C-alpha cells in the first residue's frame, strides 16, 4: 500500500481538502443538539420566541453549511480516488506490457487482468471511503463525547464507559466474521467449480451414468455452504441486538442519573435531550466505521497484489546498444552456440547444449513432439527469454549486444495461438507494420491464401473483426495471422505450428507461396512431417536436444527419432488423413 | 413469464417456511413498535424533569421500567428476525441450487450446449445469489419499512397534528431529491459502464494477446491507446462517482431541514403550551429517523426488480423440458454382444436443415468401424445418437436386434465405452478418475486397467501416485496423459461397444504410440467405432463409413472403396 501512496502525490490538495471538509461537516453536526437545547431551555421554558427564531435560523444555516461542506468533501474525495486509480492503472498497464515472457508465465494472464480491473476498482473505492470517513467517524464519536463533557462531567462519564463497549462489540463481530465470510466464499468457489465441471463433462457424466453420484457430492457441498452461511449469520446477528442493548442501557442510566442532576439543579431537561441525542449519533457513526473497516480490508488485499505486480523486476535486461537493423549481411544469419535453457521455476533444464547455424534465405523446418522444445527455440531466438548459458548470434553479433527493440524488428512471426484484435482487418495488419500500404497488405493476404476470407464478406481490408475473433473460424483466423506476419518486411519469418487448422490443400499452397519469398529466412515449426519435409534443412528436436539436422532424405536414413515420427505419421509422412 | 407470475412462484418457493415467515413478521411488528415507543418514553421522562427539585422519581422509575422492557423486546426481536430471515433465505438458496443442479442432469445435452455453459453457471450461482439478496432485503426491510412509516404517522398524528403535517409534507422532498439525483447519476453510470466495458475489453484483448503485442513490438502504440481510454474513463467516472455520492449529503440536508422545521414549530407550540418539551424531543427523534425507511424501501424495490429478473432466468431453467427416457416394452438390463444395425437414421435440431439423414449400416459383433469425413460431416451427431444423448427424428438403431428405445438409457450406456478427444477429468484423485465408471473397483483392478492402458508408468511417477489429486480439468497433466487416463477409465469398465475418437494433434509421438497400443488392447473383440485420422487405423477397419454433409456417401473396406474411385479415393489422393 505504501508504494501506491505516491500516486496520490498529485492530489495532495484533494487529500487534504476532502477529510477537512468532512470534519467541518461533522463539527457542525455536533452543534445541532446544542442549538436545540438552547431552543428548549431558553426558548420554550422561558417562553422567549426571539431566541426560538434566532436559533431556528441557526439550525437552517447549519444544514446549509453542512451540505456545502459535505458536497465539497465528496467532490475532492472522488477526484483524488479517481486520479489515483487512473495513475495506478496506467503504470500497471505499462508495466504489464513491458513484462518478459518469464514474468507473464509466473503470474498468468488472467490474474494480470484481474489485477488491472477488479483490484484497481477495489482500491479506488477504498481510497474514496478512507478520505470520506476515516477521520469523520472517530471525530464524531469523540466529538460527541467531548460535547457531553462540556454539558455535564458526571453524565459524560457514562459515555466513557459506553464508547469502548460499543467499539468492542462492533469490532469483535466485524473482525470475527471477516474470515468467516472468506470461508463462505471459498466454499462457494468450490461449488461453482463443481457445477462448471459437470457442465463441461456433461457427456462423460451421462456416458458413465454418474449423474446420481455427482448430485450426491454436490448436495454435500451445497449443505456445507448452507451450514457455513448459517454459522456466520448467527455470529453477525449478534451485532444488532448487542448495540441496541449497550446504547439503550446507557440511555437508561443517563436518564436515571439525569433525573438526579436535574433535581439537584445542575442540569436542564434540554441538556438531557442533547446527551441522549449524542448517544444516538455515536451509534450511527460506529456502524458506518465498521463497514469502512470491511472496505479497507478488502482494498488492502487488492492494493498489496497491485504493488507486488509493480515491484516485479523485468526478467529481461535490455542493455544492448547495437542497432540490429544496420548490421552488414553475413553468410550466417543465425547461430546457436551451446545454448542451455531451463524454464524459470522448474529447475530442470529444458534445452541442453543446442548448437546449429542457418544461412540467409534458407527455409528451416523444426519438428518434434509436444514438449520437445520447438516453441521454446522460437522464443529464445526472438529473445523472449534469455539463455541460461551459451550464445545466440544474429549476423555474427551476440543478440544480447543488440538493442531489443531493433532486434525484434528483424522478425516477423505467426504465434501458435491465432489471436487478432477487435477492429478492422486493416488495423490488425498495421500492427505488423504501421507504414504498410493497402497494396502491400493485399499482397500479404494473397500469399497467406486468405483472399477468400477477406473477399467473401465483400469488405476487403475494412472487414470487421469481433472481440475474440468470434466471426472467424479457426482456419480463417490462422490465415489472417499469417497475412499479418507477411505484411512486415523482416528478414526472418517464424511460423509456429500455424497451419494446424488448415486443410492439406490450402496448407500446401501456402507453403508453395512461402517458397517464393527467397530473400526471407523462414522457420517452420510443426508436428507434421508433411509441413517441413520440403525445407532446405530440418531440425529434429527430442526432449530439448537436437536429434538431427539435415534434409528429409538424410534424416529419414540416419535419424531414428525422425524416422519414428515419420512412421507414426504413416511411412513417409504422405499418407495421413 | 410475467413479473406477477414470477412473484407468485417466488412466494411458492418460500411457502414451506410459512411458519417461520409468520414468526418473522410477528417479530417485525414487535420490533417496530418497541423502536417507536422508546422516543416516546424518553420524551415522557424528560417531561418529568421540569427543573430543580421538581423531578418525579416515582414516575421516572415507572417510565424506565417500560424503557427497559421496550429495548429488551427490541433487541430480542431484531435478533430473532435476523436469524429467521437468514435461515429462510439460505435454505431457499440451498434448495434452489440443489434442484437446478439436478436439472442439469435431466435436460437434453443440446439444451446445455445451446444455452452456453457460462450462462447456465451464472443462473445457478449468481442469479440464485441475487435472488436471495432480494429475498433477504424484502423480508427484513420491506415489511418493517412500511410498518415503520405507517406507525410513525399514526403516532405523530395522535400526539400533534400540526407537526405531523409538517413532517409529512417535508419528508417526501428528500425522496424527490434522492430520485432526482439517482436519475442524473443513472445517465452517468450508463456512460461510465460503456466506457468501462470498452476499457476492460481492451485490457482483456491486449493482455490476453500480450505475446502478439510483444512479437510485433507494438507496446508503445498500445500504451498510448490505453492512456487515451483511461483518461476518458476517468472523466466520466468522476462525474458518476461524484453525483452518486451526493445522495447521502442531500438526504441528510433534507433531514436537517425537517429537523429544523419540527424544532421551530414545536418550540412555538411549546411556548403556547400545546405540547411539552418531552413530546418535542420525541418528534425530533422521529424526524431524524423518518427518511430512513423511505430510503430502505426504495433500495428494496430496486433490489427486488433485480431479483425478479434473476428469478425469471432461474425458473426458465427449472421449466426446461426434461429429456425423459420413454422406453416402451423395455428389455431388462440387456448384456449386449455388440451387433448393431442402423436403419435410415435421421436427426436435426432445426427441422429445415438436415443435419444427419439416411444413415444405414450393419456392424457385426467385434468388428471395427472407422468413420471418416471432413469436419462438420455429422460424425459427432452420430455418436450423440448412438449414446442416446439425442433421440433420432426417424429411423432406428438396433442393438442385438433390440430397438434402442426399448433399452433404458442408463442400461444402454453401461454397454458403451467412450473416449473423446476433449478429455474430461474431474477434480479428484487419479484413482477416483479411473474408477469413475465403476466406483466400487478395488485398487488392484484400477491398477490393472491403468497398466493395460499404458498409463501406469506415468501415474507411478506422479508425486502421490494414484492418490495424486488432479487440478480442475486435469490441469497438471499433458494432453496425452489425460487421454491415457480417459482410456483407463473405459478399460476398467470394459463394455462390449466402444466409441473412440483418435487424437489429431498436440500429442507427442511417444505418448501417441502408447495411446494407439492402448486403443488396440481396448478394441480387441469389441465392436468399436473409431473417428479415425490415421491411415493405418482406417486401413485395418472391417468397415469404413465415409461421411459427408450428414450422410454416409460410401461404405466398405479400404480395398473396396479404392476400387470405387469415389470420394474416399479422392480424399486419399489429395494428400
Q: Taking CB atoms and an 8 Å limit, are A237 and B79 in contact across chains?
A: yes
- The pLDDT, as a whole number, for residue B574 is 58
Domain A1-133+299-315 has CATH 3.40.50.720: no
- The pLDDT, as a whole number, for residue B2 is 76
Using CA atoms, how far residue A540 sits from A333, A537, A552, B426, in Å, is: 20, 10, 10, 36
Q: Taking CB atoms and an 8 Å limit, are A272 and B49 in contact across chains?
A: yes
Q: How many CB atoms lie within 10 A of CB A503?
A: 12
Residue B445: pLDDT over 90: yes
B residues 41-80 closer than 8 Å to A (CB): 42, 45-55, 57, 60, 64, 67-68, 71-72, 74-76, 78-79
Note the pLDDT tens digit of each residue in B119-144: 888 889 888 988 988 888 887 788 88
Note the Cα A489 to chain centre separation in Å: 34
Q: Taking CB atoms and an 8 Å limit, are B54 and A419 in contact across chains?
A: no
Q: Taking CB atoms and an 8 Å limit, are B74 and A244 in contact across chains?
A: yes
Helix, strand, or coil (residue A274): helix
Residue B414: pLDDT over 60: yes
Mean pLDDT of B80-103: 94
Q: How many CB atoms lie within 10 A of CB B69?
A: 13
Q: Which residues of chain B have a CB within 8 Å of the CB of A205?
A: 105
In 3D space, the residue among A26, A552, A1 whose CA is nearest the CA of residue A284 turns out to be A26
Instruction: Write the DSSP string, B291-348.
Output: HHHHHHHHHHHHHHHHHHHHHHHHHHHHTSPP-----SSPPPS------EEEEEEEE-
Domain B340-573 has CATH 3.40.50.410: no
d(CA A81, CA A125): 7
Of A244, A277, A412, A570, which to mutate for an interface test with B (greatest number of B Cβ within 10 Å)? Answer: A244
Q: Taking CB atoms and an 8 Å limit, are B253 and A67 in contact across chains?
A: yes
Q: Taking CB atoms and an 8 Å limit, are A66 and B125 in contact across chains?
A: no
Chain A's closest residue to B275, CA to CA, is: A44
Residue B509 pLDDT class (50, 70, 90 cuts): low
With b for 16 or more beta-carbon neighbours within 10 A and e for fewer, the B216-234 pattern comes to bbbbeebbeebeebbeebb
Chain B's closest residue to A222, CA to CA, is: B94
d(CA A526, CA B360): 39
B475: closest CA of chain A, how far (Å): 13
Mean model confidence pLDDT for chain B = 86
d(CA B513, CA B517): 6
> Residue A524: which H helix or E strand, with range?
strand A521-526
d(CA A403, CA B217): 12
Which is the CATH superfamily of the domain at B1-160+292-323? ABC transporter type 1, transmembrane domain (1.20.1560.10)
Number of A to B CB contacts under 8 A, please give it: 398
Q: Taking CB atoms and an 8 Å limit, are A431 and B280 in contact across chains?
A: no
User: Are the beta carbons of A299 and A180 closer than 8 angstroms?
Assistant: no
Q: Which residues of chain A have a CB within 8 Å of the CB of B209?
A: 417, 419, 421
Query: Is A318-410+492-571's fold the same as A420-489's?
Result: yes
* Better-scored residue on pLDDT, B262 or A291: B262
Using CA atoms, how far residue B428 sits from B424, B431, B445, B466, B474, in Å, is: 12, 8, 18, 11, 9
B536: closest CA of chain A, how far (Å): 7
* Better-scored residue on pLDDT, B292 or A51: A51
User: Are the beta carbons of B518 and B512 closer than 8 angstroms?
Assistant: no
Could you tell me the three cell numbers for A240?
Answer: 444488532
β-bridge mates for residue A423, sequence order: A465
Of B57, B195, B215, B269, which to mutate for an interface test with A (greatest number of A Cβ within 10 Å)? Answer: B215
Tell me which residue has cell 497491485: A306
Domain ranges, ordered by start, for chain A: 1-133+299-315, 318-410+492-571, 420-489
Q: Taking CB atoms and an 8 Å limit, are A67 and B249 in contact across chains?
A: yes
Q: Which of B38, B76, B205 sits opposite A422 (nearest CB)?
A: B205
d(CA A527, CA A505): 17
Going from the first residue of chain A to its last (577 residues), give the mean pLDDT of each consecutive group of 10, the final group possibly shorter.
Answer: 85 94 92 91 88 93 94 95 94 89 78 86 91 88 93 92 91 87 87 87 85 92 94 91 93 93 90 90 83 82 89 84 87 91 66 89 86 82 89 92 89 86 89 90 91 79 82 83 92 86 77 87 88 90 85 90 78 42
Bridging pattern class, strands B551-556 and A397-398: unpaired
Using CA atoms, how far residue B365 sits from A343, A491, B274, in Å, is: 50, 59, 103
Domain ranges, ordered by start, for chain B: 1-160+292-323, 161-274, 340-573
B369: closest CA of chain A, how far (Å): 16
Mean pLDDT of B64-93: 94
β-bridge mates for residue B531, sequence order: B371, B501
In which region does residue A431 sit, left (phi positive, over 0), alpha (psi from -120 to 50) or beta (all else)?
alpha
CATH hierarchy code of domain A420-489: 3.40.50.300
Q: Which residues of chain B have a CB within 8 Å of the CB of A203?
A: 109, 384, 387, 389, 418, 420, 424
d(CA A9, CA A516): 58
Residue B181: pLDDT over 80: no
* Range with top average pLDDT, B133-137, B148-152, B335-339, B446-450: B446-450
Query: Is B333 an 8 Å CB contact of chain A?
Result: no
Q: Which residues of chain A have a CB within 8 Å of the CB of B38?
A: 248
d(CA A108, CA A102): 10
β-bridge mates for residue B234, sequence order: none
Query: Is B424 an 8 Å CB contact of chain A?
Result: yes
Mean pLDDT of B25-38: 93
Note the pLDDT tens digit of each residue in B192-249: 878 888 888 888 888 878 878 887 888 888 899 999 999 999 998 898 888 888 878 8
Query: Is B471 an 8 Å CB contact of chain A?
Result: no
- The pLDDT, as a whole number, for residue A566 is 83
In 3D space, the residue among A521, A524, A491 whose CA is nearest the CA of residue A510 turns out to be A524
Chain B's closest residue to A529, CA to CA, is: B509
CA angle A278, A279, A283 (to 5 degrees): 115
Q: Which of B237, B420, B478 sits opposite A82 (nearest CB)?
A: B237
A94: closest CA of chain B, how far (Å): 6
In which region does residue B366 sit, left (phi positive, over 0), alpha (psi from -120 to 50) or beta (all else)?
left
- The pLDDT, as a whole number, for residue A493 is 93
B242: closest CA of chain A, how far (Å): 6
Note the pLDDT tens digit of each residue in B492-505: 988 999 998 876 55
* Range with top average pLDDT, A541-550, B284-293, B340-349: B340-349
Burial of A516 (0-12, 13-18, 19+ CB in 10 A): exposed
In 3D space, the residue among B433, B238, B64, B465 whose CA is nearest the CA of residue A85 turns out to be B238
Tell me which residue has cell 466529538: A143
* E-strand stretches of B336-447: 340-347, 356-363, 368-372, 394-399, 402-403, 416-419
Of A14, A37, A44, A224, which to mutate for an interface test with B (greatest number of B Cβ within 10 Å)? Answer: A44
Domain A318-410+492-571 has CATH 3.40.50.300: yes
Q: Taking CB atoms and an 8 Å limit, are B270 and A44 in contact across chains?
A: yes
- In the 8-state DSSP scheme, what is residue A415? -
Q: Which of A202, A415, A422 sits opposite B215 (nearest CB)?
A: A415
Mean pLDDT of B302-312: 84
Q: Taking CB atoms and an 8 Å limit, are B83 and A234 in contact across chains?
A: yes
A326: closest CA of chain B, how far (Å): 18
B361: closest CA of chain A, how far (Å): 23
Q: Taking CB atoms and an 8 Å limit, are B253 and A85 in contact across chains?
A: no
- Which ipTM was obtained for this model? 0.83
Q: Taking CB atoms and an 8 Å limit, are A195 and B121 in contact across chains?
A: yes
Burial of A392 (0-12, 13-18, 19+ CB in 10 A): buried
- HSE toward the beta carbon, residue A131, CA cutoff 13 A: 31
Amino acid at each position: 500500500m505504501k508504494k501506491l501512496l505516491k500516486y496520490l502525490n498529485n492530489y495532495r490538495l484533494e487529500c487534504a481538502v476532502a477529510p477537512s471538509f468532512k470534519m467541518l461537516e461533522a463539527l457542525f453536526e455536533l452543534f445541532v443538539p446544542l442549538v436545540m437545547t438552547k431552543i428548549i431551555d431558553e426558548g420554550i421554558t422561558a417562553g422567549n420566541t426571539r431566541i426560538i427564531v434566532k436559533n431556528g435560523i441557526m439550525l437552517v444555516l447549519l444544514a446549509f453549511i453542512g451540505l456545502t461542506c459535505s458536497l465539497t468533501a465528496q467532490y475532492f474525495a472522488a477526484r483524488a480516488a479517481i486520479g489515483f486509480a487512473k495513475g495506478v492503472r496506467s503504470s500497471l498497464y505499462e508495466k504489464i506490457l513491458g513484462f518478459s515472457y518469464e514474468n507473464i508465465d509466473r503470474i498468468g494472464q488472467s490474474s494480470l487482468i484481474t489485477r488491472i480491473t477488479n483490484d484497481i476498482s477495489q482500491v479506488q473505492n477504498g481510497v474514496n471511503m478512507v478520505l470520506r470517513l476515516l477521520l469523520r467517524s472517530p471525530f464524531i464519536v469523540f466529538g460527541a463525547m467531548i460535547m457531553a463533557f462540556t454539558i455535564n462531567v458526571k453524565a459524560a462519564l457514562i459515555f466513557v464507559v459506553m464508547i469502548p463497549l460499543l467499539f468492542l462489540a462492533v469490532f469483535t463481530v466485524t473482525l470475527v466474521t471477516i474470515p468467516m465470510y472468506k470461508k463462505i466464499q471459498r466454499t462457494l468457489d468450490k461449488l461453482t467449480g463443481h457445477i462448471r465441471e459437470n457442465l463441461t463433462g456433461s457427456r462423460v457424466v451421462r456416458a458413465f451414468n454418474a449423474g446420481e453420484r455427482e448430485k450426491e457430492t454436490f448436495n454435500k457441498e451445497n449443505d456445507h455452504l448452507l451450514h457455513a452461511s448459517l454459522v456466520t449469520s448467527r455470529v453477525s446477528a449478534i451485532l444488532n441486538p448487542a448495540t441496541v442493548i449497550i446504547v439503550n442501557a446507557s440511555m437508561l442510566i443517563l436518564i436515571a442519573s439525569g433525573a438526579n442532576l436535574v433535581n439537584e439543579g445542575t442540569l436542564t431537561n434540554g441538556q438531557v435531550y442533547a446527551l441522549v441525542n449524542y448517544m444516538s449519533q455515536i451509534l450511527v457513526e460506529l456502524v458506518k466505521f465498521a463497514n469502512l473497516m470491511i472496505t479497507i480490508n478488502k482494498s488492502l488485499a487488492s492494493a498489496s497484489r497491485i504493488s507486488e505486480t509493480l515491484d516485479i523486476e523485468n526478467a529481461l535486461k535490455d542493455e544492448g546498444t547495437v542497432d540490429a537493423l544496420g548490421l552488414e549481411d553475413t553468410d550466417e544469419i543465425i547461430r546457436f552456440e551451446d545454448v542451455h535453457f531451463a524454464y524459470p521455476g522448474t529447475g530442470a533444464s529444458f534445452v541442453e547444449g543446442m548448437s546449429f547455424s542457418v544461412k540467409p534465405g534458407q527455409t528451416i523446418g523444426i519438428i518434434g513432439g509436444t514438449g520437445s522444445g520447438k516453441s521454446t527455440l522460437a522464443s529464445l531466438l526472438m529473445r523472449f527469454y534469455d539463455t541460461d548459458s551459451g550464445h545466440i548470434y544474429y549476423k555474427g553479433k551476440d543478440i544480447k549486444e543488440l538493442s531489443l527493440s531493433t532486434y525484434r524488428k528483424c522478425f516477423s512471426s505467426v504465434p501458435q495461438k491465432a489471436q487478432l484484435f477487435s477492429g478492422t482487418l486493416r488495423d490488425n495488419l498495421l500492427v505488423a507494420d504501421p507504414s504498410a500500404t493497402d497494396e502491400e497488405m493485399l499482397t500479404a493476404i494473397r500469399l497467406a491464401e486468405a483472399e477468400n476470407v477477406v473477399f467473401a464478406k465483400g469488405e476487403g481490408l475494412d472487414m470487421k473483426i469481433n472481440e475474440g475473433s468470434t466471426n472467424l473460424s479457426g482456419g480463417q483466423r490462422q490465415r489472417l495471422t499469417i497475412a499479418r506476419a507477411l505484411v512486415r518486411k523482416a528478414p526472418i519469418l517464424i511460423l509456429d505450428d500455424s497451419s494446424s487448422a488448415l486443410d492439406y490443400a490450402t496448407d500446401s499452397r501456402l507453403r508453395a507461396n512461402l517458397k517464393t519469398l527467397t530473400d526471407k529466412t523462414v522457420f517452420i515449426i510443426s508436428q507434421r512431417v508433411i509441413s517441413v519435409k520440403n525445407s532446405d534443412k530440418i531440425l529434429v528436436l527430442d526432449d530439448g536436444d537436437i536429434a538431427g539436422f539435415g534434409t528429409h532424405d538424410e534424416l529419414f536414413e540416419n535419424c531414428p527419432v525422425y524416422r519414428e515420427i515419420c512412421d507414426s505419421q504413416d511411412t513417409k509422412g504422405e499418407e495421413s488423413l | 413469464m410475467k413479473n406477477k407470475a414470477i412473484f407468485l412462484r417466488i412466494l411458492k418457493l418460500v411457502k414451506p417456511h410459512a411458519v417461520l415467515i409468520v414468526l418473522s413478521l410477528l417479530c417485525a411488528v414487535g420490533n417496530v413498535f418497541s423502536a417507536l415507543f422508546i422516543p416516546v418514553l424518553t420524551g415522557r421522562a424528560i417531561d418529568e424533569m421540569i427543573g430543580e427539585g421538581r423531578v418525579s422519581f416515582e414516575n421516572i422509575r415507572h417510565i424506565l421500567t417500560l424503557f427497559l422492557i421496550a429495548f429488551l423486546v427490541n433487541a430480542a426481536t431484531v435478533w430473532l428476525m435476523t436469524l429467521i430471515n437468514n435461515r429462510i433465505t439460505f435454505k431457499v438458496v440451498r434448495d434452489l441450487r440443489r434442484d437446478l443442479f439436478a436439472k442439469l442432469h435431466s435436460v437434453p445435452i443440446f439444451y446445455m450446449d445451446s444455452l452456453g455453459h457460462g450462462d447456465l453457471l451464472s443462473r445457478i450461482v449468481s442469479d440464485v445469489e441475487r435472488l436471495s439478496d432480494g429475498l433477504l432485503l424484502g423480508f427484513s426491510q420491506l415489511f418493517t419499512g412500511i410498518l415503520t412509516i405507517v406507525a410513525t404517522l399514526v403516532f405523530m398524528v395522535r400526539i400533534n397534528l400540526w407537526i405531523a403535517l409538517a413532517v409529512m409534507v417535508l419528508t417526501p422532498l428528500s425522496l424527490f431529491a434522492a430520485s432526482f439525483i439517482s436519475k442524473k447519476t443513472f445517465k452517468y453510470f450508463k456512460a461510465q459502464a460503456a466506457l468501462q466495458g470498452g476499457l476492460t475489453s481492451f485490457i482483456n484483448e491486449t493482455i490476453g494477446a500480450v505475446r502478439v503485442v510483444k512479437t510485433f513490438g507494438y507496446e508503445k502504440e498500445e500504451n498510448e491507446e490505453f492512456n487515451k481510454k483511461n483518461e476518458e474513463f476517468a472523466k466520466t467516472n468522476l462525474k458518476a462517482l461524484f453525483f452518486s455520492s451526493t445522495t447521502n449529503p442531500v438526504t441528510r440536508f433534507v433531514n436537517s431541514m425537517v429537523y429544523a422545521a419540527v424544532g421551530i414549530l414545536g418550540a412555538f407550540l411549546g411556548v403556547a403550551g400545546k405540547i411539552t418539551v418531552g413530546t418535542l424531543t420525541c418528534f425530533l427523534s422521529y424526524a431524524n429517523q423518518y427518511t430512513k425507511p423511505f430510503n430502505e424501501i426504495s433500495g428494496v424495490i430496486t433490489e427486488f426488480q433485480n431479483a425478479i429478473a434473476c428469478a425469471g432466468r432461474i425458473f426458465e431453467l427449472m421449466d426446461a423440458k426434461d429429456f425423459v427416457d420413454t422406453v416402451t416394452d423395455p428389455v431388462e438390463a440387456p448384456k449386449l454382444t455388440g451387433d448393431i444395425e442402423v436403419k435410415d437414421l435421421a436427426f436435426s435440431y432445426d427441422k429445415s436443415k438436415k443435419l444427419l439423414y439416411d444413415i444405414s449400416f450393419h456392424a457385426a459383433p467385434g468388428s471395427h468401424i472407422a468413420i471418416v469425413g471432413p469436419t462438420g460431416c455429422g460424425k459427432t451427431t452420430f455418436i450423440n445418437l448412438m449414446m442416446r444423448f439425442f433421440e433420432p427424428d426417424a429411423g432406428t438403431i438396433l442393438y442385438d436386434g433390440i430397438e434402442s428405445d426399448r433399452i433404458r438409457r442408463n442400461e444402454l450406456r453401461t454397454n458403451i465405452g467412450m473416449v473423446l478427444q476433449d478429455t474430461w477429468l474431474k477434480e479428484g484423485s487419479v484413482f477416483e478418475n479411473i474408477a469413475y465408471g465403476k466406483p466400487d473397483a478395488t485398487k488392484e483392478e484400477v491398477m490393472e486397467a491403468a497398466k493395460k492402458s499404458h498409463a501406469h508408468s506415468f501415474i507411478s511417477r506422479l508425486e502421490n501416485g494414484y492418490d495424486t489429486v488432479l487440478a480442475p480439468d486435469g490441469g497438471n497433466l499433458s494432453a496425452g496423459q489425460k487421454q491415457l487416463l480417459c482410456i483407463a477409465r473405459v478399460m476398467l469398465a470394459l463394455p462390449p461397444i466402444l466409441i473412440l475418437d483418435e487424437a489429431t494433434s498436440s500429442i507427442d509421438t511417444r505418448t501417441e504410440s502408447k495411446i494407439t497400443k492402448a486403443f488396440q488392447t481396448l478394441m480387441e473383440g469389441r465392436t468399436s467405432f473409431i473417428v479415425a485420422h490415421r491411415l493405418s487405423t482406417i486401413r485395418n477397419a472391417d468397415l469404413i463409413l465415409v461421411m459427408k454433409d450428414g450422410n454416409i456417401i460410401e461404405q466398405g473396406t479400404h480395398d473396396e472403396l479404392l476400387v470405387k474411385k469415389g470420394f474416399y479415393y479422392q480424399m486419399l489422393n489429395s494428400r
